[in-house]
Structure 1
Amino acid sequence: MSITRQDAWSQDEDLLLAEVVLRHIREGSTQLVAFEEVGKKLSRTAAACGFRWNSFVRKQYKTGIELAKKHRKENKKRVEISNVKQSELKVEMIPIPKENNDYPFQTDISMKEVVAYLQSIESKNNELIQTIKKLEAENMSLSEENSKLKFQYETITNQLSHVEEDYRALLDIMERARKLVILEDDKKSEKVKFQMDRNGNLERLKK
């Protein structure tokens, strides 16, 4: 069973800690893995190595850390470019599902078949685009027609309102005329009678 050290750090141990951490940064690994590696070599805990790095050593290697990060970034780009080139080389062996077959994939597809497949997808995509444009044109036409119908409806509604006002005014005039006719008829139907008053004069009576 190894004994965990808790004594002071030496310059050589600080140098080892810096070298391992910078290497892990360049390789795209984590600092935690680096602390564990240094801890095993120096019989210290990973936590102690991490504390030493963050509190003291890291401040002395700012330039080295930036260079290590830059190197890691360049390595990542090279790996991505390499992966792209490999995928380009394998394009003729794209696995495509086969129906009704115990073996689910076939790898003997040719470049012409890949191009034909992509062209069919592009053709379907163009058809969808044309359908969308047609629907958009129909929608615009229907919107214009709806606006015209709405304007006609508002015009007819206003005209109907005026007609109703004129109709009510006409009814009012007709009612007034009817009352005048009845009044005139009443006046004509009145019978006039006369009688003699106490002085011997005739006076007109209304019945």
Structure 2
Amino acid sequence: MNRKDKWTENDDNMLTQTVIDHIRTGSTQLKAFAKVAEIQSRTAAACGFRWNAELRHRYNNEIKEAKLQGRQSKDVAIVVRNQEQLNPIDQIIDALEKFRFEHLEFENEIRNLKSKNAELELELEELRNSNGLNINPSDDLQTLLDLIRKAEGMIIERENKKPAYR
């Protein structure tokens, strides 16, 4: 059966681009279907059916990216709108509250890292004791630094010597 209103590649491209643009700008797919329906002389339901049954699965990555961009643009718009409604004192208070929250998060992260460090030091000490090793890391570090300095000296000495032949 050859339908008069069969979907063409151009129709599909227009539907796809319109839907993705609407998602990207934070609009709905239903509004995209309505817009395409008006242009193509179809129903919004027909556009929605075509999108969901035939096209959507081909554009998963583009849809994910558009949704992410849509969320980011909504977040920015809300912040801008909120900042425009605040007077300067309220803006300063808002900024200080955000700074306080970030500061508390950093303090919590520092506490967690200190706790993890203490656990690792205990584990290291247990490993040393179980293996009968009495190694002081600072002594090892000093020995390593002495070796590096000696190697650097040897390299400099070799570079300063001229070859015996020319």
**Taking structure 1 as the reference length, what is the TM-score of the superposition?**
0.40
Whose relative contact order is higher, 1 or 2, with alpha carbons under 8 Å and at least 6 apart?
A: 2
**Taking structure 2 as the reference length, what is the TM-score of the superposition?**
0.49
More helix per residue: 2
More strand per residue: 1
Considering only CA atoms, is the larger Rg found in Structure 1 or Structure 2?
Answer: 1
